[in-house]
Amino acid sequence: MQPRRKTRQVQVGPVAIGGEAPVSIQSMTSTYTYEIDETVAQIQALAQAGADIVRVAVPDPKDTEALKHILPQVPVPIVADVHFHFQRAMEAVEAGVHKIRLNPGNIQDRQQVDRVIRACRERGVPIRVGVNEGGIVERKDKEQRAEEKAKLEASYEDQLIGIMLEKLDAYLRIFDENDFHDVVLSAKSIDPRITIKAYTAISERHDYPLHLGVTHAGPKETGCIRSVVALGTLLSNGIGDTVRISYASDPVLEVHDAKEMLNCLGLRPRVEPELIACPTCGRIEVDLITLVQQVREKLATIKTPVKVAVMGCVVNGPGEAEGADVAVFAGKGRGIIYVQGEQKRTVNEAEMLDALYEESLAFADRVERGEAQLNQGGVTIAPPDPLPREDGTLPLRVVSQ
C-alpha cells in the first residue's frame, strides 16, 4: 500500500472528503426523487448499510422541490446530481443540499457556471466535477464532436483520457477565476484500465480530492470485479478520497461491497464480523456452501468485528483458519469448534450452525465487556486431539453444551 496522496479537504455536511479524512462511501438512489417516501426509505437503508453520503437525481423541478421534504428526514448528507439544467443546481442549493455534481460536457455556459459557483459559495456547498466517459464527448457542436470522435477512432484509450483532462482543466479554470476551491473531481470509465490511468493522471495534475468510480459497471455479478479492480488498484496506490461502487442492482449491495473493499485494504476499520471459509474441494463432507451462507446470515446480528472461520474438513482446516477468533472444522456428521485456538466443542452436524453462532456471540460479548481481545494474528490452532484417523474420521465423542 502506498501512502494516501495529500489533497485539499472539503466538507459535505458533517462528512469530510480529502485531507486526513478516512475514505468515505457513497451510493445513489434508484428511486424517482419526487417520490419522497420511497426516496427517504432508500436513503435510510443505504445509511444503515454504511453509506456516508448519498446522491439523488434531480432532472426536473419536482425533484428539487422534493429535496426540501427529503433532507430533514435523512441521516446522511445528500448530493444533487445535475446534468443538463443549471437551474436544477440553483434549486438544489436553495433547498439545502450538501453538495452538487456537475458535468462539463453538459453545462458549459460560463455565466451559468459562474452563477452556480456563487450560489455554492454563499451556502458552503462543494461541487463535484465529473468528466465521465459517457458524457465527455461534445454533443451540441457537430464540428467539434466530429473532431473528437475522429481522435477516439485513432487511439481510443489515450485520446479519451486526453479529452477528459483537457475539458477538466478548462472547467477548473472557471473555478480558479472565481477563487472557488471546494471541489471534488471524478473521471469514470466503463474500462478499469482507463479509469486507473485517468485518475492517476488527474492526481498528478491537481490536489483536489478524488471521487472514485467505474461508470455503468453492469450487474453485481460482474460489476463487482470491474469496480474493485479499478478502485482497489487506485486506493492501494494512495489515490482516492471517496468511492462509489455502481451496480445495475439494489444500491445497498454497492455499499456492502465498498465497505468490504475498504476493510480489506485497511482503509476503514471493520465494525462487523469477518467471515472466512475454505474453498470447496473433494475433502469436504458437509454442504459447506449452504453452511457458509447460513453462518453469514446469523453473524449479521453481531456488531463486533469477530473473525469467524468455516472450514470443510479437519485436515487443512486448522492451518487455514489460524488467526480466526472462532472456527469450526466440519467432518462427516459433526464439527469441532475452536475459540482463539482452544478446542471448545464437538457437535453433531445438525447443531453446528447454532453452536458456532453461540460461541461467536459469547466471544463478542466478552470482547465488548473487556474480558477478551480480538485476535491480532497471534492465534495458533492445534490440530484436533486426538488426530483424525487415516480415513479422515474423528474418534471424538460428541459434546454439546
pLDDT of residue 392: 54
> What residue type is 388 in one-letter code?
P
Q: Tell me the β-bridge partners of 275.
A: 308
Residue ranges of the chain that CATH labels 3.30.413.10: 274-368
Taking a C-beta distance cutoff of 8 angstroms, is the pair 80, 120 a contact?
no
Summarised one tens digit per residue, pLDDT across range 291-334 is 999 999 999 999 999 999 999 876 666 777 778 999 998 888 88
| φ and ψ at residue 99, rounded to 5 degrees | -165, 155
d(CA 194, CA 198): 6
pLDDT of residue 28: 97
d(CA 246, CA 218): 8
- Residues 6 or more apart whose CB falls under 8 angstroms from that of 10 comprise 16, 17, 18, 126, 182, 183, 184, 209
pLDDT of residue 251: 96
Give the torsion through C-alpha atoms of 38, 44, 50, 56, to 10 deg: 50
d(CA 286, CA 266): 33
Summarised one tens digit per residue, pLDDT across range 357-368 is 999 999 999 999
d(CA 119, CA 112): 11
Residue 279 three-state SS: coil
Residue ranges of the chain that CATH labels 3.20.20.20: 9-264
pLDDT of residue 138: 74
pLDDT of residue 282: 79
pLDDT of residue 387: 45
d(CA 346, CA 337): 6
DSSP H/E element including 243: strand 242-243
Taking a C-beta distance cutoff of 8 angstroms, is the pair 237, 200 a contact?
yes
pLDDT of residue 383: 59
CATH superfamily of 274-368: Sulfite Reductase Hemoprotein, domain 1 (3.30.413.10)
Query: In tens digits, what is the pLDDT along the chain, a chain of 401 residues?
Result: 899 999 999 999 999 999 999 999 999 999 999 999 999 999 999 999 999 999 999 999 999 999 999 999 999 999 999 977 889 999 999 999 999 998 876 677 889 999 999 999 999 999 999 888 877 777 778 888 888 888 888 888 898 999 899 989 999 999 999 999 999 999 999 999 999 999 999 999 999 999 999 988 889 999 999 999 999 999 999 999 999 999 999 999 999 999 999 999 999 999 999 999 988 777 787 888 999 999 999 999 999 999 999 998 766 667 777 789 999 988 888 889 999 988 899 999 899 999 999 999 999 999 999 999 998 765 566 655 544 545 555 544 444 44
- In CATH terms, the fold of domain 9-264 is TIM Barrel (3.20.20)
Among the listed residues 285, 330, 287, the one whose alpha carbon sits nearest the alpha carbon of residue 310: 330
pLDDT of residue 16: 98
The reply to whether the predicted model has a pTM over 0.95 is no
Taking a C-beta distance cutoff of 8 angstroms, is the pair 190, 215 a contact?
yes
Residue 133 three-state SS: coil
- Residues 6 or more apart whose CB falls under 8 angstroms from that of 284 comprise 312, 313, 330
Taking a C-beta distance cutoff of 8 angstroms, is the pair 211, 242 a contact?
yes
pLDDT of residue 105: 64
Joined grid coordinates for residue 169: 482543466
Give the CA radius of gyration of the chain. 25
